Amino acid sequence: MIYLDSAATTLQKPKTVPRAVMKAMYQFASPGRGGYAAAMGAANLMFQCREFAADFFDTSAPDQVVFTSNATMALNIAIRTLVKPGMTVVMSCYEHNAVTRCVKAIPDINVLIAEGPLFQPEKMIESFRSQLKQADVAICNYVSNVFGYLLPIQEIAALCREKEVPFIIDASQAAGCLPVSVESWGAAFVAMPGHKGLYGPQGTGILLCGAHVMPEPLLYGGTGSASVEQDMPDFLPDRLEAGTANVPGIAGLLEGLRFVKEKGTGRILRHERHLIQRAGMQLKSVKNMELFLAEDASVQTGVLSFRIRGMDCERIGQRLSAAGIAVRTNLHCAPLAHQYAGTLDTGTVRISASAFNTEREVDRLVEVIRSFA
């Protein structure tokens, strides 16, 4: 199979990842629930992962690294902490349902959309600049999951600091291929999955908490600390980590993080971007092809959307699947992004690369598309 759906989940993992998962399943118990070797081994592993992530993502302390089930859970915690009824929230027009549905579930919220055409970061900066004047909270994804559009997150973060508006960053498509710096951005929260560009197992995610934020718990329960108290602990990470931790998942995530650090985010991005550009340049000549390929490659990551006039995206996905090629089709859980890009009625076909894809795979994708387009 040629797997080109890494924006959903990376399927090919470094060999160290499943090995670590298996080892953890056989050797580790619940961290924070005992002083015996199997429990303390699990605790040491989690701490190693916290320390690694804190250093890699420039977070003030390992305590500020919270393990979640996915980026959606992390975003829910962040949004529910900062967004309260009656507030005004500004978000980019490229947000995922993990953001938009969560905000909509909070009553009486005034939502402002920072608009800007695809691959034009200056327009997005201007839009945030004007909307932030009225905002209580700002939310933006670092990279659009539909189009691979690299949003000007550093500039938006600077505007948020200037206006003193708490900023939530959805780094779902960025973590692993772009630098993340909680401290220098001054972000309130940065959310990311463990199973995409960080090459960890499904069921892992990370919420990086800014130094001066005390988040609201999403789950309530045992933490192995302050057990007499009936309120959740007032310290991190315990406050947000009720219940038994996903130790095997975190073991795999740690190995995924090590892989990314060793390879280098810059190198991974260059590789993925090269593959997408290669596919894009070849697909341009396909009849009725509509490609969402940036003229300036520096504002697009390893994600490319396209559609073929007169062909249903789902049908294209089926044809590719029959040829052994895995891609994502339709709305990618981001109707807002499609609405602003003008693709809400059709959706798109999305190809997304990982560090494990090759030129040959991309060329085969083009060959198959040519055969039916």
Partner 1 sequence: MIFYLIVCRSLTYAQRTAATLERSGIPATILRSPTGVSANGCSYSVKIAHKRLAGALEALNRAGLTPVSVYITSGDGSYREVQL
Residues at the contact surface with partner 1, assessed by CB under 8 A: 31-32, 34-35, 40, 43-44, 47, 50-51, 61-63, 223-229, 233, 235-238
Between 26 and 36, CB nearer to partner 1:
36
Least distance to partner 1 from the beta carbon of 180, Å? Answer: 21
Between 225 and 358, CB nearer to partner 1:
225
Q: Is 38 exposed, middle or buried (0-12, 13-18, 19+ CB in 10 A)?
A: middle
Least distance to partner 1 from the beta carbon of 11, Å? Answer: 32
Interior CA angle at 28 toward 22 and 34, to 5°? 170
Least distance to partner 1 from the beta carbon of 240, Å? Answer: 12
Q: Which residue from 84, 81, 63 is spatially nearest to 73, judged by alpha carbons? A: 81
Between 34 and 203, CB nearer to partner 1:
34
Least distance to partner 1 from the beta carbon of 220, Å? Answer: 16
Instruction: Tell whether the torsion through CA atoms of 239, 244, 246 and 248 is positive or negative.
Output: positive
Q: Which residue from 3, 284, 175 is spatially nearest to 292, judged by alpha carbons? A: 284
Q: Is 163 exposed, middle or buried (0-12, 13-18, 19+ CB in 10 A)?
A: middle
Between 11 and 40, CB nearer to partner 1:
40
Between 230 and 285, CB nearer to partner 1:
230
- Is residue 350 within 8 Å of 267, Cβ to Cβ? no
Between 212 and 287, CB nearer to partner 1:
212
Q: Which residue from 54, 144, 65, 137 is spatially nearest to 98, judged by alpha carbons? A: 144
DSSP at 297: G
Least distance to partner 1 from the beta carbon of 236, Å? Answer: 8
Between 244 and 277, CB nearer to partner 1:
244
**Alpha carbons within 13 A on the beta-carbon side of 360:** 3
Residue 255's identity, in one-letter code, is: E
Least distance to partner 1 from the beta carbon of 254, Å? Answer: 14
What gap in Å lies between CA 161 and CA 157, rounded to an integer?
6
Least distance to partner 1 from the beta carbon of 238, Å? Answer: 5
